[in-house]
Structure formats: structure tokens, C-alpha cells
Amino acid sequence: MALLCVHCIYSLKRQQSREVLVGLLFLVFPFIPASNLFFRVGFVVAERVLYMPSLGYCILLSHGLGRLCSCLGRWGSANQVWLSREALFRSGIHTLPHNAKVHYNYANFLKDTGRHPEAIHHYNIALRLYPRHASALNNLGTLTSDPQEAERFYRKALDINPQHNRALFNLGNLLKTQGQDSEAELLLKNSIRFGPHFSDAYSSLASLYAQQKRITEAKAVYVKGLELCPENSDLHNNYGVFLVDTGEGALAAAHYQQAVSLRPNHYVAMVNLGRLLRSYNDNEQAESWYQRALSVSRCVDVLSPLGALYYNTGRFEEALQVYREAVLLQPSSSDLGLALAQVLAISGRSSEAEKTTRDILLREPSCIECYRLLSAVSSKRGEHTQALEFLDRALQQEPSDPSVRAELLFSRGNQLREMDRLQQAFESYSEAVQINPDQSQAWMNMGGIKHIKGEYAAARAFYEKALKLSPGSKLLKENLDKLDRLERRSKGSV
């Protein structure tokens, strides 16, 4: 290493010597023929004779300035103002503390870098210096967590400048979340009118129409937006989501791909394309897009669908690895914790699954899926009483989705049947089919209970209802055949 450093120093000095030598050669030798030193020339020395010597002079001058700057650099310091954008903005504030624009620009920098409290401080200074700064008011609104305060800032900005398309957009979005659709629509339309190349406004207005089931108008807004903003990747991605929701998945794929083409690190579009391919059971291509998204960002939004793909295709060890990473990134997420617990349970790690699920319940005691999973773990161990208790606790949470309640009642009936409490099991199945009459398995189990009790006519009625829902069920047909034989036998004995 030392020899290398010595060689570098020697090479540098040799290069500097060459610069001096070349400069001197150009300065002296071209001037000799016209110098009258060695022989007399018959013309007056003119500026053309100095062309080549001037080149040598320039070489020597630049070399000398370089050496001078090098020396000064050892003794002085560089201008700190130009070291970074922040240093430049802070210098501006120090030099012009009463200039609103300087504070506004620095506040924008702070907002973009996530330093929101400092940004708010400088926006307020800008407004104190220039109260009619509409953009500062608008940006303050975006940083305010209180919706009423944000609305006040946006409206004040629009009082100053009614054509401020960003303030129109922000206020429109805010009112959309509050259900004030009519005013929100008008504001978003004006945002587009005063900023025809503002792509976010098209997406927001189209999503408002989609929420209102105004599908034709929503599509027209997206198409118009893409005509004026064809290079906007987010608009292509959002239109793709809209197309999937309206059943035009094949067209959506092209827009997801266009979004990625325009912005190669658009991992959201990659994930959306992966989900679309998953819906077509093209798991291999879906995984490749998820992996590509993961190479851009190892965030939960990418890890979660990849984990689901692995889980649903039976690749439990890979799913486990992915969900563990996701939970490390968002340890407070109950959904991720529950997904991890489900993978742990199905891969035979029941103790760890139970611990993970109980940890979620400490944070969220009303987690119905947690009780359901604990019930499944207990049932697998043969602990049917414990499994039944967990199902009862899940039902006590009074799930708002009727289908969830029906499934819980069906599972409860299964546990009671395992415990040979047949009448209670029948009643639980009966409640389930009252909520969801399409539960073929519940009808079949009710028929089975009546079958065991010797109530053959009732058993046949339940079996036949189940068979209408699952006409291809071999088990149901076998049960009906058994029932026929028993009925014939009983009639023969009579």
C-alpha cells in the first residue's frame, strides 16, 4: 500500500512537471524565429507571431492557478453555502430573514424531506411576512392532521386565488372523504380546468365517480387524463385498478405494464399486475412480478401478497419466511400477525401459532379470526372443549358479517358433534343454515344426525337439500344409498 501511494505521488509530480515543460516549450520555441536574437528578420513582430506562445502562456497560467488553489485549500475553507440544498436555503434565510419566498422555499424542502414541524414553522413565517401567499396556505393544509383546520387553510388559499388547482384538488379530496360529494366533484372539476395536466385530479375525480357507480363517466375521465398526461405512471396504474374492478382485467394488464415501463421502480403497479395474474391462476408469472417488486422495495405491501401466494400454493416454509419479515417491519399489524400464525399452525408449529395469536388478542381482544384460529389449533390437538370455548367467545363479539357468523356456528356444530352432543350440534347447524342456506355441509351434517337417531324421513330431506347444493358429492349419494337400505330393511322387518 505504501509503495502504491509513493508511486501515485511520483506520477502526480511527473504529470505536473510535464505541464510546466509543455507550457515552456510552447511559450519559448515558437517565439525564437521572430525574436531577432539569433538572426535578423525582415518584418515587424505582429500578434500572429504570439499565437503559439500564447498557448504556452495559458498552460502555465492554468497550472499556476491550480497550484495556488491547492495551497489555499490547505489554509482556508470552501464556501459552505453550496454544500447542499439545505445549506443554500438556510443561507438565504440568514441573509434575507424578512423575505417570505425564502421561508416558503425552505419550508417546501423541509416538507419534502419529512421534517413537517419545521416546515409548518417556516410556512407560518412566510404567511406572517406575506399573508396572501396561497401556496403556503395550501401546503399548510396538507401538513395539518385536523380536517377542519386543513379545510380552513384550503378555503383561505382559494379566497386569495380561486384558480389554485392544488388547493382545489386538496379541498375536493378532503370533502370526498367526508361524503360531501357534490362540492368535491365541483372542486375536482375546477382543479382539472385550471390545471389540465395535473394527473392526480383526474384519478381523484374518476375514483369519486366510481364510488358513485358512475362507471361510464369515471372511464371517460381516465381516458381524458391519459390523453393529456400519457407519461404519468400513476395514472396508468390507477386506471388499471379501475379496469380490474369493472371486469376488464386484460386491458388493465397493459396499463400496469405501461406504468412500469414509464417508471421502472413502480412497485405498486408490479404488485397489482401480480395480483391480476394470480386471479388468472398464473402463479409463476405472478411470483415473478412480486419478486421484481421486492427488488425495488422490501415493504409490507409487497411481502404480504407474496406470502399469500406461497401459502395458497402450499409453499409454507417460504410463506413463513416472508411473513416473518413482514411482521418485523410492522409488528403492530394484527392482520400480518394473524397471517403468520395461520402459516405456523398449518406447518405444524402449533405452540408458536398459539403464542402469536394470543399476543394479538392482548392488543385486540375483539379479534374474531384469532378466536377461530385458536379453536382450530385446539381442535387439532383433540381439545374439543377448549375449541368450543374459543368459538363461543368469537360469537360473543357479534360479527357484523352474517356469513362469518354462519361459519362460526357451523364450526361450533362440528365441535359439539365431536363431543357427541348431537342435539346441540343439530341446533348450531340449524342456526347456520338459517343465516346462510347455501351451506351444503351443514345440511348434510344435520341429515347425518337424524340418520344416527333413526329419523330416516327427516334425514332424507336434509340429504336431498344438501345434494341440490352439491350435486357431485359422492359422500351424499353414499349416505342416501345407506338410508335406502336401512329403510328397506326396516320395512322388511315390519
Q: For residue 454, what are the CA distances in angstroms to 64, 451, 459?
A: 112, 5, 8
pLDDT tens for residues 202-243?
999 999 999 999 999 999 999 999 999 999 999 999 999 999
Report percent pLDDT > 90 for the chain: 74
Hey, how many other C-beta atoms are within 10 angstroms of the C-beta on 283?
Answer: 16
Residue 53's pLDDT is what? 75
State the pLDDT confidence band at 54, using cuts at 50, 70 and 90: confident
If residue 197 lies in a helix (H) or strand (E), which one and from where to where?
none
Domain 365-437 has CATH 1.25.40.10: yes
How buried is residue 454: exposed, middle or buried, by Cβ count under 10 Å (0-12/13-18/19+)?
exposed
CA 377 to chain centre: 32
Task: For the chain, give the number of residues.
Answer: 494
Q: Give me 334's grid cell.
A: 394484527
- Residue type at 86 in one-letter notation: E
Retrieve residue 313's grid coordinates: 400454493
Cβ–Cβ under 8 Å, residues 355 and 391: no
- Domain extent listing, the chain: 365-437, 446-489
All cell numbers assigned to 24: 515552456
Asked whether 486 and 494 are in contact (CB, 8 A), the reply is no
In this predicted structure, the answer to whether residue 485 has a pLDDT above a threshold of 60 is yes
- State the pTM of this model: 0.75
Mean per-residue pLDDT for 303-318?
A: 96
Question: What does the pLDDT average to over 458-481?
Answer: 90
Residue 408: pLDDT above 70?
yes
Does position 155 have pLDDT exceeding 80, yes or no? yes
- With cut-offs at 50, 70 and 90, classify the pLDDT of residue 106: very high
Model confidence at 104: pLDDT above 90: yes
- Quickly count: other Cβ atoms within 10 Å of residue 242's Cβ: 22
- What confidence tier does 48 reach under pLDDT thresholds 50, 70, 90? low
pLDDT score of 32? 72
197-203 long-range contacts, CB within 8 A, separation 24+: 197/228, 197/229, 198/165, 198/166, 198/169, 199/225, 199/229, 199/232, 199/234, 199/235, 200/169, 200/234, 201/165, 201/168, 201/169, 201/172, 202/229, 202/235, 203/234, 203/235, 203/238
Cell of 131: 399573508
The model's pLDDT over 167-200, given as tens digits with 9 standing for 90+, comes to 999 999 999 999 999 999 999 999 999 999 999 9
| The pLDDT value given to residue 52 | 75
- Please report, for residues 40, 236, 269, 316, the alpha-carbon distance to residue 290 in angstroms, rounded to integers and kept in the order given: 85, 19, 10, 17
**pLDDT digits 0-9 by tens, 357-400:** 999 999 999 999 999 999 999 999 999 999 999 999 999 999 99
CA-wise closest residue to 176 among 167, 186, 166: 186
> In whole angstroms, what separates CA 284 from the centre of its chain?
22
Average pLDDT, the chain: 89
Q: What angle do CA 248, 252, 253 make, to 5 degrees?
A: 125
Q: In this predicted structure, what is the pLDDT of residue 3?
A: 35
> DSSP characters for 53-118?
HHHHHHHHHHHHHHHHHHHHHHHS---GGGG-HHHHHHHHHHH-TT-HHHHHHHHHHHHHTT-HHH
